[in-house]
């Protein structure tokens, strides 16, 4: 029970920084902490200075748990270094997309399939942020009533695209506030997204691929099938970038196999691990990203029946994409690893 572990965090972007916070907040039993990135330097997180080492194969010597922060839409550091870390005895938990659909690699959300951690062969994948919060909300209902169809629209914050996207939003807002709306997109220095985000939304996250769906939309389909062990669920998704700093929101429509009332669904959700039910719309109480920021729970509200489809239900789901959608879920996987 008192054993401690040598932990490495790879990457010091927005997710890597959150991993450092979460490890500290959850009192993960760390013996030695290594922070690795492309170049050596010091970073400061909440008043604590962390020395950053330049990443190398040798940096993984003696590491027990390697948390790769990952970079959505790109080949992450895990593609290069995961196998070297595993060779040296580490369990790799990767937040990037490189291993998620590998049949030999478990894709884990602890509230749903924690037992899959035991199947790892050195690498465990952390799902996409939008997938994590959706399956946390769907799983309790799926166990009770089954789910045959999901239609989801995500409203995803700028931080899901990294620090540069947050800076783009900030810069655009500043320019618009000074009266520069007409030229805001052309003038920003930190342009990492394909469209202006301030005072705007656009349905483009990831690259366009099969059937004109984006890669982000296909992640919601394929990752959910893998995590829930059910590829018969019909899932259709639209992913939208919105001018929010942190916190993804999702409007989720489901059709269940068995009829379940909104009241039954609320009762199930309110008693489920990792979920906070906020559902009192008459008093303006429902999940919002500003309230989810900095929290590790998935917030669910606006649970209501489809008046035209017997087994149809709507859910509104919100979570901090940097924490439960990335860093916290990764650390929770690490907790499962050391307890299994």
CATH of the domain at 208: 3.30.360.10
- How many domains does the chain contain in total? 2
Identify whether the C-beta of residue 54 lies closer than 8 Å to the C-beta of residue 28. Answer: no
Residue ranges in the chain whose pLDDT is less than 50: 73
Per-residue pLDDT at 1: 53
Residues 295, 268 within the same domain: yes
Give me the residues paired with residue 92 across strands.
66, 123
Identify whether the C-beta of residue 95 lies closer than 8 Å to the C-beta of residue 219. Answer: no
Residues 137, 285 within the same domain: yes
What's the DSSP call for residue 84? H
Residues 242, 300 within the same domain: yes
Residues 205, 316 within the same domain: yes
Structure tokens belonging to residue 200: 């705007």
Q: Look up 336 and say whether it is catalytic.
A: no
Residues 294, 239 within the same domain: yes
Q: What's the whole-model pTM score?
A: 0.96
Question: 229 — alpha (psi -120 to 50), left (phi > 0) or beta?
Answer: left
Residues 281, 258 within the same domain: yes
Q: Look up 27 and say whether it is catalytic.
A: no
Q: Which of 27, 129, 204, 336 is catalytic?
A: 129
> Which residue range is the domain that position 190 belongs to?
131-321
What's the DSSP call for residue 202? B
Residues 92, 199 within the same domain: no
Per-residue pLDDT at 179: 81
Residues 122, 232 within the same domain: no
Per-residue pLDDT at 69: 95
Identify whether the C-beta of residue 313 lies closer than 8 Å to the C-beta of residue 304. Answer: yes
Per-residue pLDDT at 74: 55
pLDDT digits (tens, 9 = 90+) for 280-296: 999 999 999 999 999 99
Per-residue pLDDT at 180: 67
Residues 288, 141 within the same domain: yes
Q: Which of 120, 225, 248, 259 is catalytic?
A: 248
Please work out, in degrees rounded to the nearest 5, the angle formed at the alpha carbon of residue 84 by the alpha carbons of 63 and 334. 45
Which CATH number covers residue 108? 3.40.50.720
Beta strands 248-256 and 147-156 are antiparallel
d(CA 42, CA 286): 40
Unique residue bearing structure tokens 């990764």 = 330
Per-residue pLDDT at 182: 60
């Amino acid at each position: 029970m008192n054993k401690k572990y040598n932990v490495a965090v790879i990457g010091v972007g927005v997710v890597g920084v959150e991993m450092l916070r979460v490890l500290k907040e959850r009192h993960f039993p760390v013996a030695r902490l290594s922070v690795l990135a492309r170049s050596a330097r010091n970073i400061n997180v909440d008043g604590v200075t962390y020395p950053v080492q330049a990443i190398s194969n040798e940096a993984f010597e003696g590491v027990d748990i390697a948390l790769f922060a990952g970079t959505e839409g790109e080949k992450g550091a895990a593609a290069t270094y995961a196998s070297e870390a595993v060779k040296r005895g580490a369990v790799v938990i990767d937040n990037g997309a490189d291993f998620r659909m590998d049949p030999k690699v478990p894709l884990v959300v602890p509230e749903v399939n924690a037992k899959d951690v035991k199947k790892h062969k050195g690498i465990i994948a952390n799902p996409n942020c939008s997938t994590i919060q959706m399956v946390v909300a769907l799983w309790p209902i799926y166990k009770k009533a089954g789910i045959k169809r999901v239609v989801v629209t995500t409203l995803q914050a700028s931080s899901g695209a990294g620090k540069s996207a947050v800076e783009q939003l900030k810069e655009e807002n500043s320019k618009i506030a000074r009266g520069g709306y007409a030229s805001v997109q052309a003038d920003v220095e930190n342009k990492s997204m394909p469209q202006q985000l301030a005072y705007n939304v656009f349905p483009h996250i990831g690259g366009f691929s099969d059937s004109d769906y984006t890669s982000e939309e296909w992640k919601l389909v394929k990752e959910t099938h893998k995590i829930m062990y059910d590829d018969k669920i019909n899932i259709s998704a639209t992913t939208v970038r919105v001018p929010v700093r942190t916190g993804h929101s999702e409007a989720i429509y489901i059709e269940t196999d068995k009829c379940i009332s909104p009241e039954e669904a609320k009762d199930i959700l309110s008693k489920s691990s990792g979920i906070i039910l906020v559902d009192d719309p008459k008093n303006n109480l429902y999940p919002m990203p500003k309230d989810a920021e900095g929290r590790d729970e998935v917030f669910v509200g606006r649970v209501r029946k489809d008046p035209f489809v017997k087994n149809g239900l709507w859910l509104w789901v919100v979570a901090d994409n940097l924490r439960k959608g990335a860093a916290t879920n990764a650390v929770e996987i690490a907790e499962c690893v050391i307890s299994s």
